[in-house]
């Protein structure tokens, strides 16, 4: 999350159930954010335990897939509206209908159609090319659907942060333009994507659904599991005596302020190809773009203060909504010139094609700190500006890499890196070090990235123009009618409730809609109580007491 945070304190392995506020104490963003994380974890774990890895509610199951011809003589997919849960995360494919504006044509007031009004979608569905967070481009061959059958259509789900730079409606205008924005938002992003059958190692045009589910589960596990680890530490640099008045002489972290360092993978791949970028402010300094004119960029603001502003030499990333959702890695640019009166900066090059040219996608610059003076602090180690690749720092494994002010990071050898994976390193002046887990010998521990956490679910198997077998699961509601006492006592005890199918097993004979598989809810409508409860009540009916 590229937000202005102090640190992230949520650790699921500690099994905390709530954050308890105490009177007269300072309120911190980390405490409130941990409470939110605890509640999300509890709710999504419960949903996943009841539903399984994925499934939709009967009668409102979303993401039904149909193949049809689309724009530009390219195939398209119709994505049915409704809800679907992936690892407990709710995904809603229902397309919102546009509002009704006041008619500007007098004829419309008399009941005639207003030609200026946008017609809402008739069926409330999305398509492969119009889905809201995928931003597929027909001009890019890699975005097109496969021309060879068969292939799998699957759902990719993750969360990303949205601030007022990307959604101006989050800013309270009554606070004035001089004050920073308040809270940010996390957004569930879903994308319907194709996967060639060769990626799954399946033979034949239409293998059994069970084989497809098994092969996809293996592929998803490999694709979603991070294959790299990092460690961080603070070490008193050689120039530690140069500025004794700013920090304690014995301090290992030499920065004059508390910081939250963010180390993020820029270009993925192995160590020979991967690069990373880092920020001392969790990459929260952003600058909304008003006008892009070649390499000159007019900004809404140059920052609230000198520490959060832009300076010549800073590395910036040109970002918009599509760029964030696609998870791309465009070259980072360098600030070459700053025009303070005009709120403009000149960059070393134009942004990548397709980025920053559409105002409705809210383009902005994000500042990184792996090169340049930042807030007038001399970076004595770790810059390696001559070794940057596309503006980012090459990943070097098996050695400690200095960032600044005594903060160092270590990439484990043999890692595989994904664009967007990140680690957070809180640095504190009070301790003169960084907060990072260590073993009893005080050696830093290697940690997997905090994110991005990606989830997948299979939707359909496309092996012909008219052949799209459904791979979704459906679950029935748990609620049932309340039985009268006499009927409950007379009901035969045929065994434990829900014995007809184990939880999470497809039940094709349940009468689910659209012919999709069904996840058992683990409760039989005829026996809504547990076996132990039925036996106890029967004993009460016979003897009038329970031993």
> Residue 216 in contact with residue 152, Cβ under 8 Å?
yes
**DSSP structural state of residue 545:** S
Provide DSSP, 442-491: -PBPPB--SB---EEEEEEEE-BTTB--B--EEE--S--PPPPHHHHHHS
Say what the pLDDT of residue 466 is. Answer: 78
CA distances from 269 to 6, 56, 218, 415, 421 (A): 30, 35, 20, 9, 12
Say what the pLDDT of residue 224 is. Answer: 87
CA distances from 429 to 234, 397, 405, 424 (A): 11, 28, 11, 17
Say what the pLDDT of residue 464 is. Answer: 84
Strands 473-475 and 517-519: parallel
Say what the pLDDT of residue 531 is. Answer: 45
Say what the pLDDT of residue 181 is. Answer: 87
> Residue 408 in contact with residue 232, Cβ under 8 Å?
yes
Question: Bigger pLDDT: 79 or 520?
Answer: 79
Say what the pLDDT of residue 373 is. Answer: 37
**DSSP structural state of residue 143:** G
Say what the pLDDT of residue 13 is. Answer: 92
Question: Bigger pLDDT: 205 or 379?
Answer: 205
Taking the alpha carbons at both ends of the chain, their separation in whole angstroms is 57
Strands 230-234 and 286-293: unpaired
Closest C-alpha among 424, 540, 437, 431 to residue 485 = 540
pLDDT band at 239 (very low <50, low <70, confident <90, very high): low
CA distances from 353 to 356, 434, 493 (A): 8, 39, 68
Closest C-alpha among 314, 377, 376 to residue 347 = 314
pLDDT band at 376 (very low <50, low <70, confident <90, very high): very low
Each residue's pLDDT tens digit, 97-114: 888 888 887 665 555 555
> Per-residue pLDDT for 23 more than 80?
yes
**DSSP structural state of residue 294:** T
SS3 319: strand
The mean pLDDT of 109-134, rounded to a whole number, is 70
Say what the pLDDT of residue 205 is. Answer: 85
> Percent of the chain beyond pLDDT 70?
79
If 0-12 CB within 10 Å is exposed, 13-18 middle and 19+ buried, where does residue 51 land? buried
Each residue's pLDDT tens digit, 259-316: 999 999 999 999 889 999 999 999 999 999 999 999 999 999 887 778 889 999 999 9
Query: Which runs of consecutive H residues, i.e. helices, occur in 350-409?
Result: none
User: d(Cα 72, Cα 272) in Å, to the nearest integer?
Assistant: 39
Say what the pLDDT of residue 523 is. Answer: 40
Provide DSSP, 32-47: HHHHHHHHHHHHHHHH
Say what the pLDDT of residue 56 is. Answer: 97
User: d(Cα 468, Cα 192) in Å, to the nearest integer?
Assistant: 15
Say what the pLDDT of residue 114 is. Answer: 53
Say what the pLDDT of residue 252 is. Answer: 74
Who's near 197: CB < 8 A, 6+ residues apart?
150, 151, 152
Question: Bigger pLDDT: 487 or 502?
Answer: 487
Each residue's pLDDT tens digit, 492-546: 655 444 444 444 434 433 334 444 554 444 444 444 444 444 554 555 455 444 4
The two tokens of residue 360 are 């409705």
Question: Bigger pLDDT: 158 or 484?
Answer: 158
Say what the pLDDT of residue 482 is. Answer: 87
Closest C-alpha among 186, 126, 130, 191 to residue 155 = 191
């Amino acid at each position: 999350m590229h937000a202005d945070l102090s640190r992230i304190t949520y650790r699921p392995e500690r099994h905390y159930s709530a954050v308890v506020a105490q009177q007269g104490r300072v309120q911190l963003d980390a405490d409130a954010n941990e409470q939110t994380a605890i509640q999300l974890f509890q709710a999504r774990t419960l949903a996943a335990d009841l539903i399984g890895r994925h499934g939709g509610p009967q009668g409102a199951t979303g993401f039904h897939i149909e193949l049809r011809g689309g724009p530009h003589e390219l195939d398209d997919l119709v994505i049915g509206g409704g809800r679907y849960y992936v690892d407990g995360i709710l995904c809603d494919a229902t397309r919102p209908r546009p509002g009704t504006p006041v008619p500007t044509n007098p004829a419309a007031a008399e009941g005639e159609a207003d030609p200026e009004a946008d017609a809402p979608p008739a069926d409330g569905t999305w398509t492969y090319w119009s889905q809201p967070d995928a931003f597929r481009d027909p001009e890019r061959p890699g975005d097109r659907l496969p021309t060879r059958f068969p292939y799998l259509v699957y759902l990719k789900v993750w969360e990303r942060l949205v601030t007022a730079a990307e959604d101006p409606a989050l800013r309270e205008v009554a606070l004035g333009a001089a004050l920073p924005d308040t809270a940010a938002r996390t957004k569930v992003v879903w994308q319907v994507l194709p996967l060639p059958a060769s990626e799954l190692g399946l033979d034949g045009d239409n293998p059994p659904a069970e084989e497809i589910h098994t092969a996809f589960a293996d592929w998803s596990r490999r694709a979603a599991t991070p294959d790299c680890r990092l460690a961080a530490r603070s070490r008193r640099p050689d120039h530690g005596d140069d500025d004794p008045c700013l920090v304690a002489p014995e301090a290992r972290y030499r920065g004059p302020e508390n910081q939250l360092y963010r180390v993020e993978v820029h270009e993925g791949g192995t160590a020979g190809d991967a690069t990373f970028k880092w920020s001392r402010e969790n990459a929260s300094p952003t600058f909304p773009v008003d006008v892009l004119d070649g390499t000159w960029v007019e900004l809404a603001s140059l920052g609230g203060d000198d520490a959060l502003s832009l300076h010549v030499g800073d590395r910036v990333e040109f970002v918009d909504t599509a760029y964030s959702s696609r998870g791309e890695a465009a070259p980072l640019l360098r600030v070459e010139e700053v025009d303070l009166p005009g709120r403009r900066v000149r960059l070393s090059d134009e942004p990548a094609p397709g980025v920053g040219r559409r105002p409705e996608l809210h383009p902005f610059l994000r500042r990184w700190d792996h090169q340049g003076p930042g807030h007038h602090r001399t970076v004595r180690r770790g810059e390696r500006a001559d070794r940057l690749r596309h503006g980012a720092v090459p990943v070097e494994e098996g050695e400690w890499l200095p960032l600044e002010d005594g903060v160092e990071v270590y990439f484990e050898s043999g890692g595989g890196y994904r664009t967007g994976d990140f680690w957070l390193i809180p640095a504190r002046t009070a301790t003169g070090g960084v907060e990072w887990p260590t073993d009893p010998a005080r050696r830093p521990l290697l940690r997997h990235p905090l994110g991005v956490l990606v989830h997948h679910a299979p939707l359909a198997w496309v092996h012909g123009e008219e052949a799209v077998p459904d791979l979704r699961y459906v679950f029935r509601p748990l609620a049932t009618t309340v039985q009268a006492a006499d009927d409950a006592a007379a009901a035969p005890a045929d065994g434990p409730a829900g014995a007809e199918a184990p939880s999470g097993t497809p039940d094709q004979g349940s009468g689910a809609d659209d012919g999709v598989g069904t996840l058992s809810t683990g409760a039989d409508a005829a026996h809504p109580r547990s076996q132990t409860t039925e036996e106890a009540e029967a004993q009460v009916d016979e003897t009038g007491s329970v031993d």
